[in-house]
Amino acid sequence: MDQNPKRREEYRVRHSSLNLHRNRAFAAESTVYKSGNMFARFIGVVALVVICFGVAWAAHMYFTIHSAVDGKSDSNVPASGKIANRQPISVLVLGVDQGIEGRHDRGNSDTMILATANPQKNSATMTSIPRDTLADIKGDPGDKYFMFRVNSAYEIGGSQASMKTVSSMLNVPIDYYLEVNMKALRSLVNAVGGVDVNVPFDFSYDWCDFHKGKQHLNGRHAVAYVRMRKEDPRGDYGRQLRQRQVIEAIMTKARSVNTISNYRKLIDIFNKYVKTNLTFNDMLSLVLNYRGCAKNLKSGYIQGHDAWIDGSSIQVASTKELQKISNRIRKNLGLETETLDNEEIRQNDLNDQNSHIKWDDPQAFTNYRIYDQNSDKPASGSSSGYGKNPDASSSSSSSSSSSSSSGGWKFQW
């Protein structure tokens, strides 16, 4: 570089037209700073901060829910094949009564609903299974229990036994289960701000009054609404209808924007009261890819016939009814219909042949018999009693509240 002072001065004069000054290239002219531009820049910075906080909050919510759901799930698979590939699925929803009315045992599945969703058809079904329906109970490790009320499957072997029992009874695959303690209902309804239902008739239950027509329910009222049975002219079928009403109302409210602010409450409820084999990614995929199914939802229930067996009231579903329900569910799952061939059908056939059961007679059956497993003979020691496995010990029993005996075999409810 030239160190001669005279030459440096001549250079600056010769290039003064360039108006080069130190850092001028990095500084804006004073005329650029207008009030309007300043306000726009301020709004932009504020918006950027809000977006950052929003993303951080959403990420926190995502990972909190992710941890909560996967912590309760029985599955460690990120996303199941069926859901990831948008295939038809089935979910058995179990409302268990543990802790209700002072119970401290495992309890029974007070509510049983088999739901299916087919994203290709954008269709869904929700089938209620009456708790007193006669069924061949599966999943008992000792194979001591045979034809019982379907809700006793949960007490014997939990959600897995319930899934096996319902799957066998209707000849349909069941992919997932969602087990909800009924104590969660009150908290859940309160967390979503209450639900609106159409009350079918006036009634009072558990110090709660209900009036025919649209009514807003808080958590306490919702529990009373779904548990009342004796005052309903349709008995357990009416209660199932009210249960489906509340479930659908909760699902609707849970999708609302206002509920997002309460996600912590929902997570606490989920952690405390819900068990499932669905992962977080399963549930996320269901929300994103199966939401169209809810627009075409068909609800129904298994219609049973009243019967008195060994002094106990029970519901017996006809072969025609079981076949109809099986066909409907299999169709929505994209499966071909198949003729039912299970223990429930065998019991019906034997009663048709030997007791000449009249399914169109509205009076409760008093001559419906339970035949022993792998036998065409009624349960020994009783002309009308629950069946048993001949190899099972006669001392077998469950831990329910009341009992009745049949010969040397004791059955407890």
Q: Is the pLDDT of residue 38 over 90?
A: no
| Residue 251 domain flag | no
Q: CA-CA distance, 74 to 157, in Å (whole number)?
A: 16
Q: What per-residue confidence (pLDDT) applies to 42?
A: 63
State the pLDDT confidence band at 175, using cuts at 50, 70 and 90.
Answer: very high
- Domain membership of residue 11 (yes or no) is no
pLDDT given for residue 81 in this prediction: 84
CA 225 to chain centre: 19
Position 401 scores a pLDDT of 35
Read off the pLDDT of residues 85-107 as tens digits, 9 standing for 90 and up: 999 999 999 988 655 444 444 56
pLDDT at residue 291 in the model: 85
CA atoms of 365 and 313, how far apart (whole Å):
10
In a domain, 398, yes or no: no
pLDDT, greater one: 154 or 11: 154
Q: Evaluate whether residue 203 is within a structural domain.
A: no
pLDDT of res. 381: 42
**Of 37-41, 292-296, 371-375, 401-405, the least confident:** 401-405
Domain residue limits at 143: 73-192+256-342
Q: Say yes or no to pLDDT of 75 above 90.
A: no
Q: Per-residue pLDDT averaged across 148-161, rounded?
A: 90
pLDDT tens digits along 219-239: 999 989 988 878 888 877 788
Q: Has residue 244 got a pLDDT over 50?
A: yes
The average confidence (pLDDT) of the chain is: 77
Residue 174 domain-assigned? yes
The answer as to whether 78 is a domain residue is: yes
What is the total count of domains within the chain?
1
Which tens digits make up the pLDDT trace of 249-270? 887 777 665 555 666 777 777 7
Give the CATH number of the domain where residue 124 resides: 3.30.420.590
Tell me if 408 is assigned to some domain.
no
Q: Which region among 112-121, 169-178, 296-305, 397-406 has the lowest average model confidence (pLDDT)?
A: 397-406
Tell me what the mean pLDDT of segment 201-217 comes to. Answer: 93
368 or 185: which leads in pLDDT: 368
pLDDT digits (tens, 9 = 90+) for 321-359: 999 999 999 999 999 999 999 999 999 999 999 999 999
pLDDT band at 111 (very low <50, low <70, confident <90, very high): confident
Q: What is the pLDDT of residue 1?
A: 52
Residue 143, in any domain of the structure: yes
Q: Is 86 left (phi over 0), alpha (psi -120 to 50) or beta?
A: left
Average pLDDT over residues 389-412: 36
